[in-house]
Amino acid sequence: MRLTHLSIRRFRNLESQELDLPPEGVALVGENAQGKSNFLEAIYYLETFRSFRGARDDQLIAFGEEVFRVAGRLTSPDASEPAVEVAAAFQRKGRKKKVTVDGAEPERLSDGLGRLAAVIFSPSDVAIVNEGPSERRRFLDIVLSLNVPGYLRSLQTYRQALQQRNAALKDGRSSAVVSVWDEPLVRSGAEVTAERARWIESVSEEFTGYYTEVSGGQSAVPTYKPSVDTDRPTDAGAAADAYRDGLAAVADRERRMGTTVVGPHRDEVTFAIEGDRDLDVRDYGSGGQRRTAALALRLVEASTIRAARGQEPIVLMDDVFAELDEGRSERILQLIEREETGQVILTVPKESDVKVRRDALPRWGIRDGRILT
């Protein structure tokens, strides 16, 4: 599918506009602080109904306004499928979010997720590698919720059980009350861990290939590390047994701390640079190595979209070459040109910075939130 029309109303600093997007994509050229990233944020909001920059919904509403709305029309390149319109709006008063697909509200918000099949490349992606484990878990949860059937439901069930169990622990409730939530926590948590571990295992070779190509020869490997001791994290049954044993082992500690200390909310993903000693990219890697790991993650995310949804992703690129050295920039450019054959929508500060599909993408401008087509 291609994004052929975008309607923006009171989103960030963007002027309310109706935009027809070319099927090949567009390069949005403009100085900093004009709204380029906000434009990509508005588009990606229709994929996940949340900001890719982690902002709250009320922070996305234009200053002095009460509601924002973004809508996009998706059209099949060969007209083999009917066009689809996805819209999302948020009202400050009452914190009300409304999502529609072809004018109808889905039964659950999650039923509207993933219609764009979009992947976002941004300099801020390095936070996935640089920051704490929660950033990597968040990345996994988004990718798997959008591409693996049943994952989001397992994750939601786990979060609900975890919330109830933590409340019981915090309130000092009896062991009998706390243990009511053990089995729901274990079953759903094991499913979450198994799916995460399977995905990491399935993309490991591809991740290493991308990393090696972008780095110019060095390789790195991702590893999923559960918070409990199991040598079979991809097996939900084995993970469940490990979580049961883990909960029993830390019962006294949890009661003292008033919180659950084992489960997928404590799991980790690491990226090891292969060599004489396998070193964690986060702890020992250079800035370039950490950015390369983040780029490799986004590339395997795009590959996952192709495999899971049978279509080329819409690629959103937010000045991605700005913080890469020349060698890595050239290699990532070659890789993206080779693999990303769908629609590309990118932002750059000046026209000479347009590197992806340099001669193929129409140029748009932006000034004070007004997009100039």
Question: Residues within the annotated binding site for ATP?
Answer: 30-37
DSSP 14-32: PPPEEEEPPTTEEEEE--T
Q: Which residues contact 128 (CB under 8 A, 6 or more apart)?
A: 135, 136, 139, 294, 297
- What single DSSP character describes residue 104? B
Burial class (CB in 10 A: 0-12, 13-18, 19+), 286: exposed
User: Checking DSSP bridges between strand 67-75 and strand 2-9, what pairing results, if any?
Assistant: antiparallel
Question: Residues within the annotated binding site?
Answer: 30-37
Alpha helices in the chain (DSSP H): 36-48, 126-130, 133-147, 151-170, 175-179, 182-215, 236-249, 251-257, 281-284, 287-309, 326-339
Separation in Å, CA 219 to CA 103, 213, 270, 274: 47, 9, 14, 6
Per-residue tokens: 350:
């000046």
| Contact assessment for residue 77 and residue 119, using Cβ atoms and an 8 Å cutoff | no
| Residue showing tokens 């274990």 | 186
β-strand partners of 74: 3, 84
Q: Which residues contact 107 (CB under 8 A, 6 or more apart)?
A: none
| Contact assessment for residue 190 and residue 239, using Cβ atoms and an 8 Å cutoff | yes
Question: How many C-beta neighbours within 10 Å does residue 3 have?
Answer: 24
| Contact assessment for residue 273 and residue 284, using Cβ atoms and an 8 Å cutoff | yes
What CA–CA distance (Å, rounded) separates 348 from 346? 7
Hey, CA dihedral for 98, 101, 104, 106, is it positive or negative?
A: negative
Q: Which residues contact 82 (CB under 8 A, 6 or more apart)?
A: 76
